[in-house]
Amino acid sequence: MTLSILVVTDQRDGHLKGASLEALSEARRVAAQAGGGEVVAALVGSGLSAVIEEAKTRGVNRVLVVDDEHLRAFSASAYAQAVSRLIPKLTLPWAIFLPDSALGRELAPRLGALLGAGTATAVVEIHADPAGKVTVKRKVFGGKATETLELKGTPVLSLRPNSFAVDAPAAGDPPVEKVELGALPVHAQGVAVEKVVSTRGDTPELTEAAIVVSGGRGLKGPENFVMVEDLAKVLGAAVGSSRAVVDAGWRPASYQVGQTGKIIAPQLYIAAGISGAIQHLVGITNSRCIVAINKDPAAPIFKVADYGLAGDALTILPALTALVTKSKGP
Amino acid sequence: MDVLVCVKQVPDPETKLRVAPSGKALDTDGVKFTINNTYDEAMVEEALRMKEEFGFTSVRALSVGPARAEEALRATLAMGADEAVLVETPPGMELDPLFTARLLAAAAADIPHDLVLVGRHAQDDEAGAVGSALGEYLGLPSYSFVTELTPVAASHQLKMRRYLEGGEEVFSGPFPAVLSILKGAKDPRTPTLPNILKARKKPLKKIPVKDLEAKVSVLKGGFQPTSAVTSFTLPPPRSGAKMLEFQTPEEAATKLLKVLKEEAKVL
C-alpha cells in the first residue's frame, strides 16, 4: 500500500506562492522520513492550466485537479468539498498539507471538520514515524511557547510560511488527473468577488516575506520612512512599521506589525527606530534573526534582538542600502 | 436579524508563562485571565455596531470553557450583548479547536442566529480554526479575515471585504453565515460602570457540556478532541542582542552584513 500526502496549494493570484512550494517540499521530506510514500499535488480553483504545468516541476508523484467555474471565487466551503472529491483517488490517505496563507488558514479547519480529522494550523515542524503517526510543533502565546500535538485520523495541517525549506524544481512528467466537482451543497454556493484591491504594490507580502524591514518613530518624520523602503527594495524585503507610525499617519494600517497588526515570522527582521513595545514584540518573536537599530541602548527591542546597533537609524539605513547595492554589483 | 458572538477567555498576555507539572500545558495556577480575548473585543464591537446601525433584534454571546469563563461573557454583556450562554466544561477537560467548534455548533443550534461571529484567533493557542470549522458543522458558509461587513437583509446577502496576501478582496456571499472578523469599523468600547452593573442581571444560561454529548457525537470527529498536546515547552530566554561596536555608519553597515552572512546565515 502506498501512503499518500495530499498537498492543497494556494494559487489565488495565478501561480504557486512561496508557502505552497514550502508545503510541497516538506511533503516530500516527510514522505521520505516515513519510509516512502507518494506526494500528490491538489490544485483546486478555476482556469488552472498554467499552475498545473508549474506543479509538475515540483517533484510530485501525481497531480489531481478540480478546475471548475464554480470555484472562481474562494469559498472555504466549496473548496473543502472539492478537496474531499480527491480523497477517493488516494490509496491510503495519510495527511493533507496546506500553506498557512489566508486561504489555507480558512480552508484547513473547514476540511478537518468535513473529514472529522485532527487539524493543526501554523505548524512549524512535522514528524512522521514509520507506523504513520504524525506529530507537529506549533508556536503559541505569541511565540513565547511551543506545543507538540499528536493528531488523529488523516491529519490536516497548514504550514506556516518561511518555516520550511523549498527544494529546487525537479525534472519529471507526473500524471495529471482531472476530477469533476459535481453538485455543491447550498452553503458552498453564491460567493462572488467584485474586485481585488492591492495595498502593497510590488513589494512582497509582510506575512510571507523572508526579510522584513520595519521603521518606527525613531525615524523622526514621514519623509524619512523612504530610507526603510530603500533598504527593503535592495534586499527584496517587505516593509513594515510600528503602531506609532500608523497612529501618526505616516503609513497605512496595512504596514503595522504586532499584536493588532500582522504577526510575522521572517528569516530576518530589521527594526529601525523601533523601541519595542510589547504589542510590537508579540508580532516578531517568531522571526529567525532580529536586528535592532536604535539610538537608545536601553530600548526593550535589544532584549529580544539577536544583533544590535546602538546608533541613529537615519545614518545607518542609508549606509546599509549603499553597501548592499554595492555588494550586488552593477 | 440575530447575531451570535463566540468569545473565549484567555490568559492575560502579560502573564508569566510556566509549564504545568504534566509538561503538556500552561500552568494556570495563579495565572490571571483577561476578561476577553483582544480580537474578540473587536468582533463584539462590530456586532454591536451593526445592531445599532441596522436595528438588529439581538446580540447573544456564547462561550465554551470552565466556570471562570462566565467573566468573559459578563464582560461581553457589559459591552452591550443581550444574553449569554456558557457551555461549561469540568476542570481538566481537554479541548481542541475543532472539538470546541463542535460544542459551539451543538449549542448554537438552539440559539437564533443569522450571523455567527468569531475573532481572528485566540491569543493563547493562536489556532484561528474555530470559525470555518463551525461553519462546516452548522452547514453554513464561512468567511474569514473579514475587515468590512454590510448586511443587505432584503437579498440575504453580505457585502464584505476580506484580507488576502498583498491586498483585500471585495466580495459578497449569502447569510446565515459564520464570519471571522479581522478588524471592525470601530475601536472596541469600554464598558461603563452602569453597564457593568446591568450586565450582572442580564440572562446567562449555563449548559453542562455533558448535555451536548448526544448532539456532538453525531458530528464528524465526535465528542472528543482529535488532537492532543503531548508537550508544552518554553524556549530558553533570549540572552539579549549581541551589540556591534562601530565608529561610523559605514562601519556599522559592514559589520552587520558580515555577521548576517557568516554567523546568522540569513543573507
Which pLDDT does position B84 carry in this prediction?
98
User: Among B130, B171, B234, whose Cβ lies nearest the Cβ of A192?
Assistant: B171
What is the least distance, in Å, from the CA of A135 to any CA of chain B?
9
Phi, psi dihedrals of residue A227, rounded to the nearest 5°: -65, -35
- What type of residue sits at position A330? P
Biggest alpha carbon–alpha carbon distance for chain A: 64
Residues from chain B contacting residue A115 (CB–CB below 8 Å): 220
Question: Which residue, chain included where needed, has cell 492543497?
Answer: A8
Average pLDDT, stretch B136-159?
95
- For the beta carbon of residue B54, count every other beta carbon within 10 angstroms: 12
CA end-to-end span of chain B: 54
3-state SS class at B3: strand
User: Among A140, A190, A307, whose Cβ lies nearest the Cβ of B241?
Assistant: A307
Q: pLDDT by residue (tens digit) across B176-214?
A: 999 999 988 888 999 999 999 999 999 999 999 999 999
- Break chain A into its structural domains and give their ranges: 3-188, 211-327
Residue A299, chain B, CB below 8 Å: the answer is no
Which pLDDT does position B161 carry in this prediction?
96
pLDDT confidence bin for B13, thresholds 50/70/90: confident
CATH number, domain A3-188, options 3.30.70.100, 3.90.79.10, 3.40.50.720, 3.40.50.620: 3.40.50.620
Residue B218, chain A, CB below 8 Å: the answer is no
- For the beta carbon of residue A167, count every other beta carbon within 10 angstroms: 15
ipTM of the complex: 0.92
Residues from chain B contacting residue A273 (CB–CB below 8 Å): none
CB A144 within 8 A of CB A281: no
Which pLDDT does position A34 carry in this prediction?
81
Q: pLDDT by residue (tens digit) across A250-271?
A: 999 889 999 878 889 899 999 9
Nearest CA in chain A to B176: A187
Note which residues in 147-186 of chain B have CB less than 8 A from chain A: 161-174, 180, 183
Residue A103, chain B, CB below 8 Å: the answer is yes
Note which residues in 42-101 of chain B have CB less than 8 A from chain A: 96-98, 101
Superfamily, domain B2-217:
HUPs (3.40.50.620)
Nearest residue to A163 via CA among A235, A215, A101, A117: A101
Q: Which residues of chain A have pLDDT under 50?
A: none
Q: Higher confidence at residue A2 or residue B55?
A: B55
Residue A51, C-beta contacts closer than 8 angstroms, at least 6 positions apart:
A9, A11, A14, A15, A16, A43, A45
Q: What DSSP designation does B244 have?
A: P
Are A106 and B145 within 8 A, CB to CB? yes
Nearest CA in chain A to B232: A147
The architecture in CATH of the region A211-327 reads 3-Layer(aba) Sandwich (3.40)
Are B13 and A278 within 8 A, CB to CB? yes
pLDDT confidence bin for B256, thresholds 50/70/90: very high
Residue B101, pLDDT > 70, answer yes
Are B132 and A76 within 8 A, CB to CB? yes
Residue B127, chain A, CB below 8 Å: the answer is yes
- Break chain B into its structural domains and give their ranges: 2-217, 235-267
Residues from chain A contacting residue B43 (CB–CB below 8 Å): none
Which pLDDT does position A260 carry in this prediction?
79
CB A295 within 8 A of CB B238: no
| A279, three cell numbers | 504589542
Alpha helices in B109-248 (DSSP H): 130-138, 193-199, 213-217
